[in-house]
Amino acid sequence: MTVQQFAKEIRRNTLRCLHSQGSGHVGGSLSIVDALAVLYSRYMHVDPHDPRMADRDKLVLSKGHSGPALYATLAIKGFFPAEWLDTLNKLGTRLPSHVNLNLTPGVDMTAGSLGQGLSCACGLALANRLNGIDRNVYVITGDGELQEGQNWEGAMFAAQKKLDSLIVLVDSNKLQIDGATADVMNVEDICAKFAAFGFDAQRVDGHDYEALDGAIHRAKIAKNGKPQCIVMDTVKGKGVSFYEAMGAGVHSTSVTDEQYEAALNELK
């Protein structure tokens, strides 16, 4: 499967998952699909048959409300049966709307309360070093999420401890829950901010597979004592025209039978 096909399959399954609930975090799930496709096809050293393998790469989905995109990815990778995707948030489900490491095979950190994932990832990266494990810890944060001050405590800690196995991917889709990030509380220049905190920072088109691949590769091989940041310019709702066109409204929205069918038609 090419990375393009993988990404389409993730988008289809993300919408399948959201459709099972009838609504949910459509926009921020679709905006990270291409990053997940590159990570899980080319970088993540994981074993679907041994999800807790000590010697694995880890992903902290700090913007935990985008769980459906991660679930879609993990289902395709074989971490659990695809039928689980039809149970989003249902009573007794293993797939809660916000990621939970105790419920879902392949989920490495619980998240949902925004702002905490980078700190958690610092702990995971430091623990790897103490245990002699040479693997990467990836974090995906939202752009709006960076308004949470705890991120910058985590960033300081990462630089202080020289956590160069830590790779932060910022999903810069320019929107948060109820408007444009620039209008609510501007977080730009994100690259310059991370660089000022001691990171190597790059900025790429978050829907360009080869650009993403190049940035992740550079971050992975840097090993220069600096934590790594990749700001991804993305589109909320990416891949489905009518979701892309919704603006901030796509943050949490419906996936009706009609919308699901129309979206699948676009994702053939």
Ligand X SMILES: Cc1ncc(C[n+]2csc(CCOP(=O)(O)OP(=O)(O)O)c2C)c(N)n1
In angstroms, the CA 103 to CA 82 distance is 15
Asked whether the beta carbons of 119 and 150 are under 8 A apart, the reply is yes
Using CB under 5 A as the binding rule, the residues of this chain from 121 to 160 that contact Mg ion are 142-144
116-129 burial: b if 16+ Cβ within 10 Å, else e: bbbbbbbebbbebe
> For residues 14 and 128, what is the distance between their CA atoms, to the nearest angstrom?
31
As measured in angstroms, the least distance from the Cβ of 27 to Mg ion is: 8
Q: List interacting residues with ligand X (CB under 6 A).
A: 27-28, 31, 63, 65, 112-115, 142-145, 171, 173, 175-177, 181, 236, 251
From the CB of 54, what's the least distance to Mg ion, in Å? Answer: 33
For 101, half-sphere exposure in the C-beta direction (CA atoms, 13 angstrom radius) is: 13
- 97 counts as binding Mg ion under rule CB under 5 A: no
Nearer to ligand X, 112 or 123 (CB): 112
**β-strand 200-205 against 179-180: which pairing, if any?**
unpaired
Least distance (Å) between residue 143 CB and ligand X = 5
Least distance in angstroms from the C-beta of 181 to ligand X: 6
Select the binding partner of residue 68 from Mg ion, ligand X, none (C-beta < 5 to 8 A, by kind). none
| Candidate ranges 72-80, 168-176, 204-212, 257-265; the one touching Mg ion (CB under 5 A) | 168-176
| Binding window for Mg ion (CB under 5 A); candidates: 1-9, 37-45, 151-159, 170-178 | 170-178
Q: Please, which residue, 24 or 115, has the CB nearer to ligand X?
A: 115
Query: Among 21, 104, 173, 202, which residue interacts with Mg ion (rule: CB under 5 A)?
Result: 173
CA atoms within 13 A on the CB side of 27: 25
Shortest Å, Cβ 98 to Mg ion: 16
CB of 207 to ligand X, least distance (A): 14
Among residues 221, 163, 168, 229, the alpha carbon closest in space to that of 202 is found at: 229
Who contacts 73 (Cβ-Cβ below 8 Å, separation ≥6)? 10, 13, 36, 37, 40
3-state secondary structure of 90: coil
Residue 65 touches which member of ligand X, Mg ion, none, C-beta under 5-8 Å by kind:
ligand X
Dihedral pair phi/psi, residue 137, rounded to 5°: -115, 120
| Binding footprint of Mg ion on the chain (CB under 5 A) | 142-144, 173, 175-176
